[in-house]
Amino acid sequence: MAASCSNGSNTQSYNYGSFVSNGISELANCACGLKPVRRTVTKWGPNRGRKFWGCRNFVSHDIECRCNYFVWDSDYMPQTQQRTPQQLHTQCLECPQKELEIMTLRNVILKMHGDHKSTIIKMKLLLFLCVLFGVACVVLLLILALK
């Protein structure tokens, strides 16, 4: 939807909606050339508390040019959130594969955790045997020295 604003002999026109820049959907500038700001409806009624995007001069009393730029926040969807039916279908098909991959990786982690615990137990046992062997050697040397 297009609208125009006349300021003397200078007429500006603009489009409601959004444009894409660097892969990110942005709201288009209004007739004033300003980026819209997010506001909240404060008047009593069914829309009270609802968010919308409007010109910074939305409530301007300038008779020459009143900017009527208005987009409900719920109607604005960033490019990153827009998905085609084919993209959604592909994502749904990928879910079971991703779940299987997650389960496989969890099993690998659990196995590594178990292996880690087993290795620690073996190292503690080896340390205990080394200390025991050392004590046995010292005792044997003392017995031989006393004879």
Q: pLDDT, tens digit, for every residue of 39-85?
A: 888 888 898 898 888 887 766 666 566 677 888 887 776 555 556 66
Q: In which residue are the tokens 């069914």 written?
A: 46
| Same domain as 141, residue 77 | no
22 sits in the region (left: phi over 0; alpha: psi -120 to 50; else beta) called: left
- Statement to judge: residues 90 and 134 lie in one domain: yes
Q: Supply the range of the domain harboring residue 131.
A: 83-147
Boundary-marking domain end, from 65, 81, 97: 81
Q: Do 87 and 77 belong to one domain? A: no
- The Cα–Cα gap between 49 and 70 comes to 16
Domain count, the chain: 2
Least confident of 24-28, 87-91, 132-136: 24-28
Same domain, 139 and 90: yes
pTM of the model: 0.36
